[in-house]
């Protein structure tokens, strides 16, 4: 990588096209394109997506440009930054998921991923699926995990997991020693349900409507770990995502399969208006491999 290549790269980032960059540098457009091609080859990175004769900066290009703002006179440091991006030793991932995946499952996965990538910075947030879709579309986050069905939006969607609800009940409940429970056997029980207008409440209501049942709901809560805490305190029973099981005291709460099942799918979503960074792609591969294990 040399100064002239970097100068051409910065000019394209600033002016938006090879033609405008050439005008700013007083060289031809083919000369700018050749300098950019030489830079990408030297770094082993694709810095721009070519789409309909437009140059769209990749996430690596944006990070490289940020570095050049402060170290434009230090090409050696800039080269090291680019090579670190290529080798997945540097970068940032901004993740947002449903709350249920934030209290146990996702922190464990993030911790495991960072053992292999200790210099990667990770920002982790939570929200309801409908909001997550909007935030990803606005590029506030790099990756989101949502419960389907989710609102239609201009995002990339990749199938992640298929889950089946379990029934959480107090350990001293008369049915707690069974492995499986039929929904009609829960008639008359007080339920702790997900809050209305949430993805999990959609599946809760759908299950009971399919059985022509009207559950008695005593408490509505946003978090499923909170629902399990209420179950353990004797406030009722709940249908929850099985990912909560490792985080709940088995002496207080038992989990039973539901005969006939209550199933839903989750998806990993990302912005459709910019390509994901290399480290984000690697994290998605890691999530998919962990889910398949």
pTM of the model: 0.68
Q: What structural domains does the chain harbor? A: 3-86 (1.10.10.10), 92-160+266-292 (3.40.190.10), 166-261 (3.40.190.10)
DSSP string, 254-292: EEEEETT--EEEEEEEEESSSPPPHHHHHHHHHHHHHHH
- Cα separation, 147 vs 127, whole angstroms: 11
- Cα separation, 136 vs 157, whole angstroms: 11
pLDDT tens across 145-179, in order?
999 988 888 999 999 999 999 999 999 999 999 99
Q: Which of 24, 204, 212 is nearest to 100 (CA)?
A: 204
My answer on whether omega of the bond before 149 falls inside 30° of 0, hence cis, is yes
pLDDT band at 70 (very low <50, low <70, confident <90, very high): low
pLDDT tens across 88-112, in order?
556 889 999 998 898 889 999 999 9
Which range has the top average pLDDT, 78-82, 167-171, 206-210? 167-171
**Look-up of token digits 């940020």:** 66
């Amino acid at each position: 990588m040399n100064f002239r290549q970097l100068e051409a790269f910065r000019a394209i980032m600033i002016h938006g096209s090879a033609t405008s960059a050439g005008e700013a540098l007083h060289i031809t457009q083919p000369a700018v394109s050749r300098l950019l091609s030489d830079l990408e080859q030297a770094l082993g990175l694709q810095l721009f997506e070519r789409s309909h004769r437009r140059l769209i900066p990749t996430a690596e290009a944006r990070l490289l440009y940020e570095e050049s703002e402060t170290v434009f006179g230090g090409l050696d440091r800039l080269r090291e930054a680019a090579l670190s991006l290529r080798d997945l030793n540097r970068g940032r991932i901004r993740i947002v998921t449903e709350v249920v995946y934030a209290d146990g499952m996702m922190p464990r996965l993030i911790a495991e991923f960072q053992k292999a990538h200790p210099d990667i910075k990770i920002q982790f947030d939570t929200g309801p699926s409908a909001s997550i879709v909007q935030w990803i579309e606005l590029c506030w986050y790099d990756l989101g995990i949502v419960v389907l069905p989710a609102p239609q939006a201009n995002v990339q969607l990749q199938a992640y997991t298929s889950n089946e609800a379990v029934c959480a009940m107090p350990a001293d409940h008369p049915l707690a020693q069974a492995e499986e429970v039929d929904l009609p056997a829960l008639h008359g029980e007080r339920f702790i349900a997900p809050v209305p207008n949430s993805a999990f409440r959609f599946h809760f209501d759908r299950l009971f409507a399919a059985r022509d049942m009207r559950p008695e709901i005593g408490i509505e809560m946003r978090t499923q770990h909170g629902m399990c805490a209420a179950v353990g305190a004797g406030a009722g029973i709940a249908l929850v995502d099985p990912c909560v099981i490792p985080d709940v005291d088995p002496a207080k709460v038992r989990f039973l399969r539901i005969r006939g099942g209550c199933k839903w799918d989750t998806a990993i979503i990302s912005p459709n208006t910019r390509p994901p960074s290399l480290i984000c792609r690697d994290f998605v591969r890691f999530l998919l491999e962990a889910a398949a294990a």
